[in-house]
Amino acid sequence: MRFYFDNAATTPIDERVLEVMIPLMRDGYGNPSSTHAHGRAVRSEIESARKKVAQLINATPSEIFFTSGGTEADNMALRCAVETFGYQRLITSRIEHHAVLHTSQYLGEHGVELSFVELDSDGVVNYEHLESLLKEEKSTMVSLMHANNEIGNLTDIQKVSDLCKEYDAFFHTDTVQTMGHFEHDVKKLDLNTLAASAHKFHGPKGAGFIYVNKNKRIPAFIHGGAQERGLRGGTENVYGIVGLAKALELSYNEMNEDRAKIERVKSRLIKRLKEEVEGVTFNGMSGDLNNSLYTVLSVNFPERMDKDMLLFNLDLKGISCSGGSACSSGAATGSHVLAELDRDENQAAVRFSFGRFNTIEEADYLIDTIKEFDRVNA
C-alpha cells in the first residue's frame, strides 16, 4: 500500500470525475468544430463546462478560455498582455512558479523592465513596497501568485487587485494551488487574468483555464484555428475540459468538508513533528495553520537527517512526497524559492501536501516512519 503526500504536484483524479469523462471518451468522438450532429453534441459538452466554470467563479462564459494547464495560461496572460497593451514594466516576485518567473525573464530579455517586489524573511509580500513601485509613472502589469506551491504562502490578491486598480496596472494571478481549495469571485477581485489547472483539484492532467476580464481582451496565443473564440487554436481537449468542470464543481460543493479534513491532517503533522522530531522547523508560513495554504507543509529537518536518504526511505516505506516543486525535480539546481528565503542548506527540506483523500491514520504512519528513520540514522 502507498500513501500519497504530494498533492501540490498533482492530485489523484476523483472517481466521480472519471464517471463523466469515460462515456465521452467512448462516444463523444466528434470534432467540436464540425457542424454535424456528432460535432454539435461535443460542442455542447464544452460550452456546458464553460458555463459551469464561469458560474463557480462568478465570471461570464465569454471570459473563460480552456488551456492545457496553468503554465500555458500564465504564458498566455503575460505575453499577450504585453503584446496587446505595450506594458513597459512587469512587477512580480522572485518566488513565483517558473511558469511566471521564466516568462517574466523572457519578457525582460525583450525590452520589458522587470521589478521584483520585496519579501520578508518568510517570503511574505511587502505591500508597501508594491505600492511604491506602482506609484512610479510607468505602464505596468503585475503578476503575483495566490499561494506559493512550495512553501504555502498566501498573497492577499484582493489587496493587490485594489492597488492595481488604483494605479491603473494590469493584474494577473496564478491560482493553480488555490483554485478548488478557496472560493474565487472574479467580479469582487476585479482582476484582469487568472490561471488554473484541473489536476490540482482532483481533475485530469492536461486541462486548465484562463479567465480574461472582458474589459481587457488579449489576442490569440496559439494560432491555427478559431477554437476558444480565436484565442487558442487547436482541437479542444474535450474529455479534459468536461473533467475539469466536474472536478471544480465537486471542489466547490465539498470545499468546507474537504478543508476541515485536510486541516486536521496538517495540524496532526505539525503537532507531532514539533513534539517528536527534535530540530524541525517550517519554511515560509506553511507551519501557521491560520495564515498559509492548508494543503501544503514545507518542513526543514535537522542536519542529521540527509534529505535524499530521507526521501528514499519514505519512498521505500510507501510514502510519496517531494523535496521541492515537482516541476523542478531532477534539476541540478535547488529550489529557487528556498534559496530566496536564505534557508540553511544543511537542513533537509521536504514538502508534504494534502488532498481530500488523506487521513489522520496516514499522517500518523508518516510521522512514525520519519521517527524510525531518525532513530536508525542518529
Catalytic residues: 327
Report the alpha-carbon distance of residue 295 to residue 280 in Å, rounded.
19
* Integer CA distances (angstroms), 57 to 51, 52, 77, 175, in order: 10, 9, 18, 12
- Are 261 and 356 in contact by the 8 Å Cβ rule? The answer is yes
Q: Is the dihedral of CA 232, 238, 241, 242 positive or negative?
A: positive
Report the alpha-carbon distance of residue 349 to residue 345 in Å, rounded.
9
- Are 276 and 367 in contact by the 8 Å Cβ rule? The answer is yes
The set of cell numbers assigned to 5 is: 503526500
